[in-house]
A and B are shown apart, each in its own frame.
Chain A
């Protein structure tokens, strides 16, 4: 078991003919992901190292049975790519593109939520996700990770996601699924979505959560953990030494209500029963203790 993706997931890559799209499509395929097709309206009929290129997501879906998509197109084209994927019935839309305007993100998040409730967006500006040993979608270098659980990982930061996998890999502790939700203003998938899925997943027995300063997502996750989770959670929040975040006028201060500092987030998580480490390595040590006591 795992969350969101597994060995049966069939992946379509929007932007497969670009430099990054090609590199990661092939890298993901090498990992074992079923990369069944790519999309580029200008290059339909061609192929990328044997991966057929289609003119649209719907055509790729019809020809291959793909149900998940990875988006690696430039930021100005990304909103339309997300909506095209949702219209084509993609269940999972992993948007890796960075630099998408916040208003576009807010628009397509709400549009997909309302009109295509079966589609889940992950990202934008996220590293993707990996179910270890089965399916890797995106940038995560998961070669160091051991499959099968018992640990699930969710992180806002890309490179800290990799760090978490490396810490557990070095200790020989297995991972079910590792999800990088991304740090943009409107993440399609939240900490809570992932925690809820990990709580329901029988192979995941404990969860690592890596947060960051800014916003209130970690505080909301803490509330969820306190009220809805019985699996142990270990966490790290980056940004203790960061200067106070840029206040977005009075409006930003009012919306955050004093939340958003690393200290405030760590306190909220501790109150929810989460064991908090002061750096990623310490969280790995905590998780080793947790796993040993399972």
Chain B
């Protein structure tokens, strides 16, 4: 789960990381009231989960009530790269002397945590990484040992921050590492981390991605659920607990396993069609999960045919077949279904399907052949194989 900036700041604050005082509000009147309470100047910041909001006019400085009202009314409702701003964060403005960059994430190649720190913070950190990688001080942290203060101090010195920032930076980075580990985050990023004219260091932005697999030990996350901005199809799939990514084609895809689901989309594309979605029903998928998957696909008006591609390992063939039968009884499936079933207990599954086969439910033994049949049934709709939405997460991919 990606946190909005204001949630990220609440997350950071809970680990003792200094952040600017502020309030999250949804209306212009509330924004003005918050700004008046905080005292001017304030910054009005759009809460969207997309980069480049500053350039899009989503971050503005207000020095009085009139400006706060003007900026809040301009930013609320603003469309930033397809994300409509529903909430703004009103924050006490900071007197910035210098801007730095700091983050922790997992380095999959090294299989250790990676900290990155740069004296050149701000919006162009990716450019710096590409053109001047030496400007980023990197540290690998062994998850067993953790980050010691001595290591952290050496890292800060290597990054050549202003010496006035050293103590504050060391303190924040130790806390940021704690937030990353104890908070079970995939990513914690502060950009910029600022040094103010009075010599203090604090987080002016917060980018946090939480590891959903750790939800079971973080009940505090419930407060952040349900406010993310999702495609309605994605929202329905999430509610049903399915790994789903909306695409733009007309062949609905259901497969078990992220690899097979991706491969199924690829094959649909290769035989001249366009997948409407990526949907992984996962391992151990039961009849109920398959029924849910069909309901989600059925809710997509662009879908003209459904291709179910199951190779059973942990998912048993008869469970898949029972799921389809159950779903057919529960909802009226609008599109014809082509199913390719192979693997564990595939024969039992095929036997169950046999009695339900028709021109609306077709079984085909091979993946490429089944894809061709589904694409034929879908016809050549107006949609091309274009892409949209975000990719499967690291767990799916």
- B binding-site residues for A, Cβ under 8 Å: 101, 103-109, 111-114, 116, 125-126, 129, 136, 142-144, 181, 184, 186-187, 189, 191, 207, 209, 211, 213-214, 216-217, 245, 247, 255-260, 262-263, 265-270, 275, 278, 282-284, 311-314, 342-344, 366-368, 385, 387-397
Contacts and interface: CB of A to CB of B under 8 A. Distances in A.
B109 A240 contact: no
A107 interface: yes
Contacts of B266: 238-241, 278-279
Contacts of A156: 259
A42 interface: no
B125 A155 contact: no
Interface in A240-293: 240-246, 248-255, 278-281
Nearest to A138: B313
B207 A214 contact: no
Contact of B267 (A139, A159, A279): A279
Given A244-B391, A249-B207, A20 B314 contact: yes
A44 interface: no
Contact of A281 (B181, B186, B257, B368): B368
Nearest to B145: A110
Contacts of A161: 313
Nearest to B113: A106
A250 B191 contact: yes
B340 to A, nearest CB: 11
B108 A242 contact: no
A280 B216 contact: no
A238 B112 CA distance: 26
Given A239-B266, A279-B263, A248 B314 contact: no
A251 B105 contact: yes
A203 interface: no
B217 A109 contact: no
Nearest to B103: A251
Interface of A: 20, 75-76, 98-103, 106-107, 109-111, 114, 125, 127, 139-141, 155-163, 166, 183-186, 210, 212-217, 220, 236, 238-246, 248-255, 278-281
5 tightest CB-CB pairs across the interface, nearest first? Answer: A157-B259, A159-B257, A159-B260, A214-B397, A245-B391
A188 to B, nearest CB: 9
A214 B283 contact: no
A238 to B, nearest CB: 4
Contacts of A238: 259-260, 262-263, 266
Given A242-B278, A254-B126, A254-B129, A216 B109 contact: yes
Contacts of B278: 242
A255 to B, nearest CB: 6
17 contacts: A20-B314, A101-B211, A110-B144, A114-B144, A141-B313, A159-B257, A166-B311, A183-B396, A183-B397, A215-B109, A241-B268, A243-B245, A243-B390, A248-B105, A250-B189, A255-B114, A278-B270
Contacts of A253: 126, 129
Contacts of A213: 262, 391, 397
A122 to B, nearest CB: 15
Contacts of B101: 250
A75 to B, nearest CB: 7
A163 B260 contact: yes
A106 B143 contact: yes
A125 B189 CA distance: 27
Nearest to B247: A243
A139 B213 CA distance: 22
Contacts of B211: 101-103
Contacts of A252: 105, 187
A141 B346 CA distance: 10
Nearest to B260: A159
Nearest to A162: B311
A139 B314 contact: yes
Given A103-B143, A106-B111, A163 B265 contact: no
A136 B191 CA distance: 49
Contact of A158 (B136, B142, B283): B283
B116 A254 contact: yes
B88 to A, nearest CB: 21
Given A141-B312, A243-B387, A281-B368, 9 more contacts: A101-B217, A103-B184, A157-B260, A186-B111, A242-B278, A243-B388, A249-B209, A250-B207, A254-B126
A171 B365 CA distance: 15
B392 A242 contact: yes
A125 B177 CA distance: 26
B111 to A, nearest CB: 5
A111 to B, nearest CB: 5
A248 B186 contact: yes
Nearest to A281: B368
Given A110-B142, A241-B269, A102 B313 contact: no
